[in-house]
Amino acid sequence: MRVGVLTGGGDCPGLNAVIRAIVRKGVQEYGYSFTGFRDGWRGPLDDATVRLDIPAVRGILPRGGTVLGSSRTNPLQAEDGVRCIRDTLARHGVDALITIGGEDTLGVAARLSGEHGIPCVGVPKTIDNDLSATDYTFGFDTAVGIATEAIDRLHTTAESHMRVLVVEVMGRHAGWIALHSGLAGGANVILIPEQRFDVDQVCSWVTSRFRASYAPIVVVAEGAVPRDGDMVLKDGTLDSFGHVRLSGIGEWLAKQIEKRTGKEARTTVLGHVQRGGTPSAFDRWLATRFGLHAIDAVRDGDFGTMVALRGTDIVRVPLGEATARLKTVDPKLYAEVGVFFG
Amino acid sequence: MRVGVLTGGGDCPGLNAVIRAIVRKGVQEYGYSFTGFRDGWRGPLDDATVRLDIPAVRGILPRGGTVLGSSRTNPLQAEDGVRCIRDTLARHGVDALITIGGEDTLGVAARLSGEHGIPCVGVPKTIDNDLSATDYTFGFDTAVGIATEAIDRLHTTAESHMRVLVVEVMGRHAGWIALHSGLAGGANVILIPEQRFDVDQVCSWVTSRFRASYAPIVVVAEGAVPRDGDMVLKDGTLDSFGHVRLSGIGEWLAKQIEKRTGKEARTTVLGHVQRGGTPSAFDRWLATRFGLHAIDAVRDGDFGTMVALRGTDIVRVPLGEATARLKTVDPKLYAEVGVFFG
Amino acid sequence: MRVGVLTGGGDCPGLNAVIRAIVRKGVQEYGYSFTGFRDGWRGPLDDATVRLDIPAVRGILPRGGTVLGSSRTNPLQAEDGVRCIRDTLARHGVDALITIGGEDTLGVAARLSGEHGIPCVGVPKTIDNDLSATDYTFGFDTAVGIATEAIDRLHTTAESHMRVLVVEVMGRHAGWIALHSGLAGGANVILIPEQRFDVDQVCSWVTSRFRASYAPIVVVAEGAVPRDGDMVLKDGTLDSFGHVRLSGIGEWLAKQIEKRTGKEARTTVLGHVQRGGTPSAFDRWLATRFGLHAIDAVRDGDFGTMVALRGTDIVRVPLGEATARLKTVDPKLYAEVGVFFG
Amino acid sequence: MRVGVLTGGGDCPGLNAVIRAIVRKGVQEYGYSFTGFRDGWRGPLDDATVRLDIPAVRGILPRGGTVLGSSRTNPLQAEDGVRCIRDTLARHGVDALITIGGEDTLGVAARLSGEHGIPCVGVPKTIDNDLSATDYTFGFDTAVGIATEAIDRLHTTAESHMRVLVVEVMGRHAGWIALHSGLAGGANVILIPEQRFDVDQVCSWVTSRFRASYAPIVVVAEGAVPRDGDMVLKDGTLDSFGHVRLSGIGEWLAKQIEKRTGKEARTTVLGHVQRGGTPSAFDRWLATRFGLHAIDAVRDGDFGTMVALRGTDIVRVPLGEATARLKTVDPKLYAEVGVFFG
């Protein structure tokens, strides 16, 4: 039995832990051989491979990133993509494919498995924690930890200067990182993509915080949008050449707060720091268990499935399920956390 | 409505986060007043109280320990303990009591609530993660993170000198910290209280690791016991005056490994460092949510219950359930992790 | 003897350690009393004070920021500023003033001491490490540590996606943070304000790094300027409304690299995270010793001086000296580090 | 020109940074080739070598330990040791040797260079910071940082239970780690090898701390000795079979404190955790600069010298000087810190 492995999409702490667990168990317990495909779906498409055996996975557990490289290549959009993949797998004698990735990568795996009979097992990966089929995905805990540590640090600078500090964290479509790190960091306002925010309400929380003689921290997901969403585009500072990418919602919000409350406001955009570096212990645990269970699914011939966390158990769910629905923040949970605003 | 709060047993990162959440939501949403009892059950027994209001919980979220102090006092063993407690609560006009603690503290709360009609709500706390009613307890993730970081550091010193490094972590009756930190830290051997270990097997793993030109890390829970458990007591280095406390299983094991394999072995006992300091983001999140749900249980008059984590939900379970059974490591889970041994 | 203490300018990890050391030694060894002035020079100007005694400094050693608050108020620009200060000091019976701050704060202290006979002792503070009279200032080591950790994390994301990562760190006029963190983080290019950089040279380093199959990290001080400095202003993306504050040199440089090398480039701006949070052990040591020696200078009546680090010794230098000359990166040192570029 | 490199003695964060800097500058600027010798002096003695070129030093900057391995082998005690070394160097065409190590390793280098004409350049390495020729050695800052973080954590557990916490840190002959981490961690008692301590004085500090309603932290260097030093040996808990190694001064002191003050006391022995793992930014900076200057000394033919830090400069000193005198804590400095005791 020879198993192919690839990692697709944005990088995420824990990818290497998954790869190591797959190879260690596959080789030691089942006697499998492995072929690593380079840079996500580009690997089987272009026949780009990496040696993948026990020595190749030594020492990678604590390392961020992925030794296989990653890309956002979609083989279903390439001419003859499916045939290319099938040929590459045949050429290397690969009997099954473990694909580690997010919505896009797993969506391809679901179709290759379901429509084209290529035996795939999936491992969910999204730093944003927005896959509905699993309680948590690895990488998320690391990102929340990094953002929380940054917020901890910003408290002292906010207090010393009685300034508003706006922290922009990852989360285009789901506010999980903002919610968890904002709560853990003791933020006074948390804004998420799931609920449009009212700038005046934000300013009123900010002001009430100052009245208590403490300086506010505002955590905002990059995908958060004000109630009158058009104002971001109409606003003088933002209306030309790709400003949203340039300065983002955090910068925009800080300016609004300054203008409306008369208080100094500063922005910190955490950016890629949140997705790099060594995974937290939680993420190494989860990623390793995902890897161990993925290779078990291969051994069981349970293709078209994906491993997932439910409580403290690792279960298997249909690959299609993983990509069916974005897991967004429940309004009830957001309301629960709202007690700390202001 | 006036609510009493106390924290009992060993300290644990996240206690302050629970206290803060209870008070913030209780005051802001329900208009409750609070009385803090000092040093666990000693507080209501000796009428030792601490002011507990919004200013008292400012800034405590990231701080380890407990602003209420803690103790292992058992009021049921004190003369007239129940009456004393009832009198103290009456004197302060306390209508309900939130008790944050482990098996012992919650066991008392269960009996006070069940047999004596004192309205109690419990919040589970054990750094060892060994309460069966909840998926996780706060403090555990922090402890695992600290132990993992230590193991990460020990790898480099093990490799540089080709030495065995034995790391003794917390866990008298359950091996959760050893299992999680050992896995996350890439340990080569993990020994837990749930399964007696065979010293010769350990030595054979150690030897096989050296053959791969890497130095082994052995993680051992403080409560782990060798197959012939008597040997620890009979062994020359350990047979007099309280040696187990003095040097522990880690030191004993290192000596055995040195003797049997001829390799140098060193021990690190992590000790209290594992339970101190700022809680991890995960623990702040869990502790805060436990606090928010505990005050909700009080508002609902749902006494005799305890909050618990199930998947990503906070639920309520009978207080008695929490203390009914120790949650130990499932042999299947231990076997799953065994692929990394040696 | 009553001593006033104030902290001015931007906040900096270690300020609280200085304050604690001053008060602990002043009270315990010399029997002095203290008056804390709030928000830098605003305190003595507006008679805004804070209680400052042993209980007030308990537990502040590991905390970032300053319990006295800070501001950039310049009393020499206020009407009757000097008289106001003199009056406030007299009103509180303050016999000497310890001023903890950077160029501006100490410049005022130098003039108050030299021209107006107000007995001042200075403690140098600049996170940028750009004061020529001292080997190091506290806060700098913490900032370098935070930036280095961020760079460590960015390596994995750069490698996984074969992207250029541009990290903008603090340093308007001096490149110390960029130089130290860039070197410690294994950056491939480090750009500092002291030497104008050539964008083509940067791109050639970036390209050569990719040829070695590794992705480059570019560390750029916020005050770094390209050789043809005007291009930043003339460049289409940057020529209107305060762009430098908006997007900064990091963003600009990333765009240039993308345009010229065809490689994807991403920017991380570390911002205020670098100056907040708990000080490193080194900074706590330095700040504490500065505090101990500052109160000794007061006891010796050695006014108009500032404490400074020389090797491992704390010495006193004239206050004027501290502000005379900016300590910039020596071209020889920059050249020394250049071996790692590309 | 071919240069040999070896690392001897205990491992120390920063060794890899030195090696990398030597090789990067040697290859890129001077066109040298390198031979890595394995496990300190054992390498040239047994002709055990490691490939050492640019690819071999990629990615090692942030890694603790040493890629060359280390040992305490003393070639001057081996039969024909000097001839063996000379032969090995000749066989590989090695023209000069850079030896990175402490007192022992550099002592050998001094004699090989001075008496036997083998061209050596030294790089000082001691985690204990006890070499008199240099202001600081790399590894020390990392060790102090780890110990300080541990002490920070122990504060909360001490306070929550009103217990004494004794922390034993490295330092057999010099108390630098105890002094720096104790000061940075806000310890209430710091005991160093340089000054015998009085147990009653320690107990009186402990008691006075409890009176202020705070729990004490006692930091003790492993080599600290009570005034009546014999009591450790005579004491019932310690008088047989190598107990000092077994339980150490920390454990002994905790028992004494319990006995004399009636307060609970707990011990944490940090052990090897202090010398492992990634080096701090300060240590990476220092180690890298040491490496750059060591290869410059080779190029200059300046053999028999060692690089050293003086203020912010790297200088060269005679190799003999490095090992001439242990740098211990100055009684005046210890007295300065004493203001925080009790």
- HEC profile for chain A? CEEEEEECCCCCCCHHHHHHHHHHHHHHHHCCEEEEECCCCHHHHHCCEEECCHHHHCCCCCCCCCCCCCCCCCCCCCCCHHHHHHHHHHHHCCCEEEEEECHHHHHHHHHHHHHHCCCEEEEECCCCCCECCCCCCCCHHHHHHHHHHHHHHHHHHHHHHCCEEEEEECCCCCCHHHHHHHHHCCCCEEECCCCCECHHHHHHHHHHHHHCCCCCEEEEECCCCECCCHHHHHCHHHCCCCHHHHCHHHHHHHHHHHHHHCCCEEEEECHHHHHCCCCCHHHHHHHHHHHHHHHHHHHCCCCCEEEEEECCEEEEEEHHHHCCCECCCCHHHHHHHHHHCC
pLDDT given for residue A80 in this prediction: 93
Of the candidates B11, B39, B128, B283, the residue annotated as catalytic is B128
Residue to substitute from B7, B38, B157, B181, interface D, most D β-carbons within 10 A: B157
Tokens of C77: 């620009």
pLDDT given for residue D135 in this prediction: 96
pLDDT given for residue D245 in this prediction: 42
What is the average pLDDT score of chain D?
Answer: 93
Do C277 and A156 count as a contact with CB atoms less than 8 A apart? Answer: yes
* Total CB pairs under 8 A between chain A and C: 122
The reply to whether B10 sits in an annotated binding site is yes
- Partner-chain residue, chosen from B135, B180, B281, that has the shortest CB–CB distance to A145: B281
pLDDT given for residue D204 in this prediction: 96
Low-confidence ranges of chain C (pLDDT < 50): 236-246
Chain A residues with CB inside 8 Å of B278's CB? 152
Q: DSSP code of C65?
A: S
- Of all residues in chain B, what percent carry a pLDDT higher than 70? 94
pLDDT given for residue C324 in this prediction: 78
- Note the pLDDT tens digit of each residue in B284-299: 999 999 999 999 999 9
pLDDT given for residue B321 in this prediction: 81
Do B311 and A135 count as a contact with CB atoms less than 8 A apart? Answer: yes
Do B152 and A289 count as a contact with CB atoms less than 8 A apart? Answer: no
Rounded Cα gap, residues D2 and D15, in angstroms: 20
Residue to substitute from C105, C160, C238, C270, interface A, most A β-carbons within 10 A: C160
Cβ–Cβ < 8 Å for A79, A101:
no
- Distance of residue B310 Cα from the nearest chain A Cα, in angstroms: 6
Longest dimension (CA), chain C: 70
- The side-by-side arrangement of strands in the sheet containing C305-310 is C49-51, C33-37, C2-7, C96-101, C120-124, C305-310, C313-318
Across D102-112, average pLDDT: 94
Cβ–Cβ < 8 Å for B220, B166:
yes
pLDDT given for residue B235 in this prediction: 53
- Note the pLDDT tens digit of each residue in B18-61: 999 999 999 999 999 999 999 999 999 999 999 999 999 999 99
With a cut of 90, say whether residue A299 has pLDDT above it. Answer: yes
The reply to whether A273 sits in an annotated binding site is yes
**Which residues touch D77 (CB under 8 Å, ≥6 apart)?**
none
Lowest model confidence (mean pLDDT) among B87-101, B309-323, C221-235, D190-204: C221-235
Three-state helix/strand/coil letters over C106-170: HHHHHHHHHHHCCCEEEEECCCCCCECCCCCCCCHHHHHHHHHHHHHHHHHHHHHHCCEEEEEEC
pLDDT given for residue C245 in this prediction: 41
- Which CATH superfamily includes the segment(s) C141-275? Phosphofructokinase domain (3.40.50.460)
User: Tell me, what's the ipTM?
Assistant: 0.94
Q: DSSP code of C239?
A: S
Do C181 and D288 count as a contact with CB atoms less than 8 A apart? Answer: no
Q: Map out the domains of chain A as residue ranges.
A: 2-138+279-322, 141-275
| Residue list, annotated binding site of C | 10, 103, 126-128, 163, 170-172, 222, 266, 272-275
- Distance of residue C243 Cα from the nearest chain D Cα, in angstroms: 32
With a cut of 70, say whether residue D240 has pLDDT above it. Answer: no
With a cut of 60, say whether residue D2 has pLDDT above it. Answer: yes
Residue to substitute from C157, C218, C246, interface A, most A β-carbons within 10 A: C157
Residue to substitute from A16, A282, A330, interface B, most B β-carbons within 10 A: A282
**Which residues touch A13 (CB under 8 Å, ≥6 apart)?**
A64, A127, A138, A139, A142, A143, A275, A276, A277, A278, A279, A280, A283, C156
The reply to whether A258 sits in an annotated binding site is no
- Partner-chain residue, chosen from B65, B153, B276, that has the shortest CB–CB distance to D64: B153
- Note the pLDDT tens digit of each residue in A232-263: 655 544 433 333 444 689 999 999 999 999 99
- The side-by-side arrangement of strands in the sheet containing D49-51 is D49-51, D33-37, D2-7, D96-101, D120-124, D305-310, D313-318
Chain C residues with CB inside 8 Å of D152's CB? 62, 278
Do C144 and D186 count as a contact with CB atoms less than 8 A apart? Answer: no
pLDDT band at B161 (very low <50, low <70, confident <90, very high): confident
pLDDT band at A231 (very low <50, low <70, confident <90, very high): low
Of the candidates D128, D141, D283, D296, the residue annotated as catalytic is D128
Do B145 and A61 count as a contact with CB atoms less than 8 A apart? Answer: no
- Partner-chain residue, chosen from C65, C154, C155, that has the shortest CB–CB distance to A157: C65
The residue type found at B29 is E
Neighbours of B334 (CB within 10 A): 16
Three-state helix/strand/coil letters over chain D: CEEEEEECCCCCCCHHHHHHHHHHHHHHHHCCEEEEECCCCHHHHHCCEEECCCHHHCCCCCCCCCCCCCCCCCHHHCCCHHHHHHHHHHHHCCCEEEEEECHHHHHHHHHHHHHHCCCEEEEECCCCCCECCCCCCCCHHHHHHHHHHHHHHHHHHHHHHCCEEEEEECCCCCCHHHHHHHHHCCCCEEECCCCCECHHHHHHHHHHHHHCCCCCEEEEECCCCECCCHHHHHCHHHCCCCHHHHCHHHHHHHHHHHHHHCCCEEEEECHHHHHCCCCCHHHHHHHHHHHHHHHHHHHCCCCCEEEEEECCEEEEEEHHHHCCCECCCCHHHHHHHHHHCC
Do D292 and C339 count as a contact with CB atoms less than 8 A apart? Answer: yes
Do D62 and C29 count as a contact with CB atoms less than 8 A apart? Answer: no
B212 phi and psi angles, rounded to 5 deg: -85, 10
Three-state helix/strand/coil letters over chain B: CEEEEEECCCCCCCHHHHHHHHHHHHHHHHCCEEEEECCCCHHHHHCCEEECCHHHHCCCCCCCCCCCCCCCCCHHHCCCHHHHHHHHHHHHCCCEEEEEECHHHHHHHHHHHHHHCCCEEEEECCCCCCECCCCCCCCHHHHHHHHHHHHHHHHHHHHHHCCEEEEEECCCCCCHHHHHHHHHCCCCEEECCCCCECHHHHHHHHHHHHHCCCCCEEEEECCCCECCCHHHHHCHHHCCCCHHHHCHHHHHHHHHHHHHHCCCEEEEECHHHHHCCCCCHHHHHHHHHHHHHHHHHHHCCCCCEEEEEECCEEEEEEHHHHCCCECCCCHHHHHHHHHHCC
- Of all residues in chain A, what percent carry a pLDDT higher than 90? 87
- Show which residues of C are catalytic: 128
pLDDT given for residue B322 in this prediction: 75
Subunits with 3+ Cβ pairs within 8 Å of B are A, D
pLDDT band at B247 (very low <50, low <70, confident <90, very high): low
The reply to whether A194 sits in an annotated binding site is no
| Residue that is written with structure tokens 């300086």 in the block | A215
Residues of D with CB under 8 A from a CB of B: 10-11, 13, 15, 63-66, 69-71, 146, 149-150, 152-157, 159-162, 165, 236-237, 241, 246-247, 251, 266-273, 275-277
Chain A residues with CB inside 8 Å of B310's CB? 311
The reply to whether A168 sits in an annotated binding site is no
Chain C residues with CB inside 8 Å of A162's CB? 69
pLDDT given for residue A234 in this prediction: 52
pLDDT given for residue A86 in this prediction: 97
Across D98-115, average pLDDT: 95
The domain at B2-138+279-322 falls in which architecture? 3-Layer(aba) Sandwich (3.40)
